[in-house]
Amino acid sequence: MATSINHDMDQGANFLFSATAKNSSGDPINISSGCTASCQMRKHYTSTAYTTLTASITGATGNINVSLGATASSAVKPGVYFYDVELQSNNGATVQRVVQGMITVYPEVTK
């Protein structure tokens, strides 16, 4: 089961967080090869519009860095969004949700 963590994003600023893929015992899993990570955020679970965040596997320790650059975050309207980070095996046979939650986007004032 995925861990639930909420985040705050400042519109127009760089956004970054890390997640760790773990097995059922709570130990980090080796994801350095044979997997890809992906992340999307949507206003509602059923929304067809979404923002793709960059999800990068950082090595054998189960770490995944998730980011969105300042230019891309400036295009996201303020509000609350749902997100998740998933790992998929290269052959597509296995998908694991690593983390999920909400991202609150706060409006940019200085432009």
Straight-line distance from the first to the last Cα atom of the chain, in angstroms, rounded to the nearest whole number: 40
Q: What is the pLDDT along the chain (111 residues), one digit of tens a residue?
A: 788 999 999 999 999 999 988 888 888 888 867 789 999 999 999 999 999 999 999 877 889 999 999 999 999 999 999 999 999 887 777 888 999 999 999 999 987
pTM as predicted: 0.90
Separation of alpha carbons 7 and 83, rounded Å: 10
Residue whose tokens read 């955020």: 41
Cα dihedral 94, 38, 31, 7, rounded to 10, equals -120
Token reading at 41: 């955020």
Q: What is the CATH topology of the domain spanning 3-106?
A: Immunoglobulin-like (2.60.40)
